[in-house]
């Protein structure tokens, strides 16, 4: 591997700092890895997009006038956390609202959706979302349920950004974004793999004489792999004809229709080849009687250094043509409306007159945000970070003991990082690593967790878990802690009935997270961690209602978790880590359910000795 870099760990940070330094109208908020406009217009809807890094210039390169107000940057090919997204929403929120533009990848949907729910419920911000799924190559893939969101996302940014710049309200900006989504289609192909900095080697192997037809922007498999044939001297023309015909058929365009054409490089193909591809594609469209309103050629939604390209077609009417043509000024896309020196001087004069008259709307708009920050500061001053008293366990568990139990939980997860990965045979093999990452960070940030009461502590823990547990584990486990914490708000000690309520609410948090993200929350039998969590919660509830002692109830819950996890061996996965393999998952336990089985049983034994 040969890359201009310092370390894989600083790769995204260094890149974002470099972008902001090249474009002083932007700023990089390092704590949350977000790139935003320095000046947020309070009189328009704010647009946010983002996802894993590695697709540059998407998405930070499209932050600017006429497109995005903020981009949230995950690690390379990894979704940003819901904590990042929520803070991005708070940074750019206006009275007119915020629209999230989300590519249809499972991790992005889950993290953006949960951040949106938090911003609406907890912060009182007006937020809505659209979901881009323009890739016609495959229906499902390694990272999605349904079609993938790829280069067509750029045109959603463009049209929705123009609508927002024109002052349209949130509902109207969303309508326009969805109109673009309904009328845009993409298809990609690759000649080589890409090399993720942290891996140091190509993601997949492909022969020098082969191409992947229908590849995804992370190197996901397409429709098929085939030999490249230059024998008739018409490779580019033949390839374009195959793809254009598929795009036309899927989109339903016909003779007389008008389109915007986007030829997008994946990062490793030189511009000269992209223009050759554009020539071939344009000829195909012209042959079919389809007019090209505007052609855009370049690298816009890449896959690091992959050689290859994608073709995107947007069917346009008069409304969309005006939005596409509307002036835009971002690092990666600029046309129309650039002010000359006289216009700049006139604007400065107007600002000076406004200042002399005491007219300062931007400052006024910032006042509510400043007040909110002061209120947050007051809350921080009142927070309790040192647990009070000594651990006590009898028929109740006090805050000090509860904090100790969660610390032990973190130790169990970290100790089982490798075994939990090995148990994830039907998922992607990273379950142990994903949750251990979050709980390692929790222990590192232990001193900053609020410990005034059990509910406060659980919610404070959820902030770290949501941000640092990898993949879908962050939203799922973080929501479990958050819902449990809300249910225990203000409690300095808990009895068996409280613990049963805590577990039921944790289960509800997992269910609601799935429902928000995929339209369906997990229930027992879906082969997810719920197969252990829900039986445990129900057993705790039954024990409390029967008047059992605390320790006896905890052992009942642990036993139910074990039985539920074991039962997943006979289930066909419909959701969760093994949801894409279906019947092939029979005979294997769900990794999440197995993990909870181990955790709950070790905790029950630990509490018995306290």
Task: Give the domain CATH number at 230.
Answer: 3.40.50.10440
Q: What percent of the chain has pLDDT over 90?
A: 72
Q: Give the confidence band of 255 by pLDDT, cuts at 50, 70, 90.
A: very high
C-alpha distance from residue 69 to each of 58, 187, 497 (Å) = 13, 28, 47
Nearest CA to 100 out of 87, 91, 90, 113 is that of 113
**Whether residue 581 has pLDDT greater than 70:** no
Q: How many Å apart are CA 405 and CA 465, to the nearest integer?
A: 16
Confidence of residue 364 (pLDDT cuts 50, 70, 90): very low
Q: Which of 55, 59, 157, 594 is catalytic?
A: 55
Both 225 and 274 in a single domain? yes
Q: Which residue's structure tokens are 């819902």?
A: 483
pLDDT at 376: 55
Active site residue 218: yes
Q: Which CATH number goes with the domain that contains 536?
A: 1.25.40.340
For residues 433 and 406, what is the distance between their CA atoms, to the nearest angstrom? 18
**For 456-483, what is each residue's pLDDT tens digit?**
999 999 999 998 987 788 899 999 999 9
Residue 110 domain-assigned (yes or no): yes
Same domain, 307 and 369: no
Domain match, 187 and 210 both? yes
State which of 97-111, 151-165, 434-448 shows the largest mean pLDDT. Answer: 151-165
Mean pLDDT across 504-512 = 96
What does the pLDDT look like over 535-561, one tens digit per residue?
Answer: 999 999 999 999 999 999 999 999 999
Q: Is residue 480 in a domain?
A: yes
Query: Are both 210 and 348 inside the same structural domain?
Result: no
Which DSSP letter does residue 39 get? S
Q: Which one of 303, 335, 367 terminates a domain?
A: 335
Q: Residues 345-350: what's their mean pLDDT?
A: 64
Is the model more confident about 586 or about 24? 24
| Token couple for 375 | 């209120």
Query: Residue 591 and residue 586: Cα distance in Å, rounded?
Result: 13
Residue 4 lies in a domain: no
Selecting among 59, 218, 562, 571, the annotated active-site residue is: 218
DSSP-assigned beta bridge partners for residue 435:
none
In SS3 terms, 562-590 reads as HHHHHHHHHCCCCCHHHCCCHHHHCCCCC
**Domain check: are 472 and 564 in the same one?**
yes
Residue 2 lies in a domain: no
Q: Are residues 137 and 199 in the same domain?
A: yes
Helix (H) or strand (E) holding 21: helix 11-22
Higher pLDDT, 19 or 139: 19
Number of domains in the chain: 3
Instruction: Judge if 105 and 220 occupy the same domain.
Output: yes
Q: Copy the structure tokens of residue 595.
A: 């993990």
Residue carrying the six token digits 């999605």: 144
Domain co-membership, 320 together with 350: no
CA distance 331 to 317: 27
Going by pLDDT thresholds of 50, 70 and 90, the confidence category of residue 372 is: low
For the chain, what's the residue count?
A: 610
Catalytic-residue membership of 201: no
Q: What is the DSSP string of 90-115?
A: HHH--TT-EEEEEES-HHHHHHHHHH
Q: Which of 276, 300, 335 is the last residue of a domain?
A: 335
pLDDT tens for 167-216 read 999 999 999 999 999 999 999 999 998 988 888 888 888 999 999 998 88
Q: Is residue 285 part of a domain?
A: yes
In this structure, is residue 604 part of a structural domain? yes
Q: What is the pLDDT of residue 374?
A: 47
Which of 85-119 are b and which e, b meaning 16 or more Cβ less than 10 Å from the residue's Cβ?
A: bbbbbbbbbbebbbbbbbbbbbbbbbbbbbbbbbb
What is the Cα Rg of the chain in Å?
26
Domain span at residue 45? Answer: 11-335
One domain, residues 104 and 189: yes
Residues 353, 233 share a domain: no
- Give dist(CA 52, CA 108) in Å, integer: 8
> Per DSSP, what are the bridge partners of residue 224?
213
Domain endpoint, select from 266, 300, 335? 335
Q: What does the mean pLDDT of the chain come to?
A: 89
Residues 372 and 425 grouped into a single domain: no
Q: Are the CB atoms for 558 and 549 separated by under 8 Å?
A: no
* Predicted local confidence at residue 586, as pLDDT: 77
* Phi, psi at 196, each rounded to 5°: -75, 130
Same structural domain, 475 and 511:
yes
User: Between 154 and 519, whose confidence is greater?
Assistant: 154
Asked if 312 contacts 203 with a C-beta cutoff of 8 angstroms, the reply is: no
pLDDT of res. 375: 54
Query: Per mean pLDDT, which range of 214-218, 224-228, 285-289 is the poorest?
Result: 214-218
75-79, 235-239, 545-549, 578-582: segment of lowest average pLDDT: 578-582
Residue 50 in contact with residue 86, Cβ under 8 Å?
Answer: no
Residue 3 lies in a domain: no
pLDDT at position 365 over 60:
no
Report yes or no on 470 lying in a domain.
yes
What's the pLDDT band for 258 if we cut at 50, 70, 90? very high
Confidence of residue 421 (pLDDT cuts 50, 70, 90): confident
């Amino acid at each position: 591997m040969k890359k201009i870099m310092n370390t894989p760990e600083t790769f995204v940070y260094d890149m974002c700092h470099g972008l902001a330094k090249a474009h002083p109208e932007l700023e990089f908020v390092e704590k949350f890895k977000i790139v935003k406009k320095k000046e947020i217009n309070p009189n328009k809807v704010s647009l946010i997009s983002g996802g894993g890094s590695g697709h540059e210039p998407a998405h930070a390169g499209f932050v600017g006038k006429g497109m995005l107000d903020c981009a949230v940057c995950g690690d390379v090919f990894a979704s940003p956390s819901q904590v990042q997204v929520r803070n991005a929403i708070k940074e750019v929120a206006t009275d007119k609202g915020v629209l999230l533009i989300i590519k249809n990848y499972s991790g992005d949907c889950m993290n953006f959706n949960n951040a949106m729910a938090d911003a609406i419920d907890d912060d009182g911000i007006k937020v809505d979302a659209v979901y881009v799924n323009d890739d016609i190559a495959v229906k499902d893939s390694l990272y999605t349920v349904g079609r993938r969101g790829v280069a067509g996302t750029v045109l959603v940014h463009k049209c929705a950004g123009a609508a927002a710049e024109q002052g349209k309200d949130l509902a109207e900006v969303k309508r326009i974004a969805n109109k673009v989504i309904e009328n845009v289609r993409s298809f990609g192909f690759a000649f080589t793999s890409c090399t993720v900095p942290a891996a140091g080697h190509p993601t997949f192997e492909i022969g020098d004489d082969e191409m992947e037809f229908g590849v995804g922007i992370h190197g996901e498999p397409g429709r098929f792999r085939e030999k490249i044939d230059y024998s008739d001297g018409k490779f580019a023309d033949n390839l374009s004809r195959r793809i254009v015909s598929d795009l036309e058929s899927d989109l339903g365009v016909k003779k007389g229709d008008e389109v915007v054409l986007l030829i997008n490089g994946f990062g490793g193909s030189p511009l000269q080849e992209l223009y050759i591809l554009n020539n071939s594609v344009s000829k195909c469209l012209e042959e079919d009687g389809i007019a090209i309103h505007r052609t855009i050629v370049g690298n816009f939604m890449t896959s690091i250094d992959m050689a290859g390209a994608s073709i995107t077609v947007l069917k346009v009417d008069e409304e969309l043509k005006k939005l596409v043509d509307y002036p835009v000024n971002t690092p990666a896309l600029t046309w129309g409306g650039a002010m000359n020196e006289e216009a700049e001087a006139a604007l400065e004069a107007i600002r000076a007159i406004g200042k002399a008259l005491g007219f300062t709307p931007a400052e006024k708009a910032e006042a509510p945000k400043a007040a909110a920050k002061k209120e947050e500061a007051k809350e921080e001053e009142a927070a309790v970070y040192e647990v009070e008293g000594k651990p006590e366990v009898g028929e109740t568990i006090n805050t000090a003991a509860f904090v100790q139990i969660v610390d032990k939980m973190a130790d169990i997860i970290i100790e089982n990082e490798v075994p939990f990965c090995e148990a994830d045979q039907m998922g992607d093999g990273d379950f142990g690593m994903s949750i251990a990452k979050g709980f390692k960070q929790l222990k590192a940030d232990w001193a900053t967790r609020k410990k005034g009461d059990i509910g406060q502590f659980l919610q404070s823990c959820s902030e770290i878990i949501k941000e640092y547990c990898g993949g879908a584990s962050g939203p799922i486990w973080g929501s479990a802690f958050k819902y449990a914490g809300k249910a225990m708000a203000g409690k300095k000690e808990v009895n068996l009935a409280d613990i049963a309520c805590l577990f039921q609410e944790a289960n509800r948090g997992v269910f609601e997270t799935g429902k928000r993200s995929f339209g369906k929350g997990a229930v027992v039998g879906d082969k997810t961690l719920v197969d252990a969590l829900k039986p445990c919660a129900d057993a705790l509830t039954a024990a409390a209602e029967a008047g059992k002692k605390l320790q006896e109830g905890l052992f009942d819950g642990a036993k139910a978790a074990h039985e539920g996890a074991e039962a997943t061996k006979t289930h066909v996965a419909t959701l969760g880590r093994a949801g894409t393999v279906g019947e092939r998952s029979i005979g294997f336990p769900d990794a999440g359910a197995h993990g909870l089985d181990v955790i709950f049983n070790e905790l029950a034994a630990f509490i018995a000795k306290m």
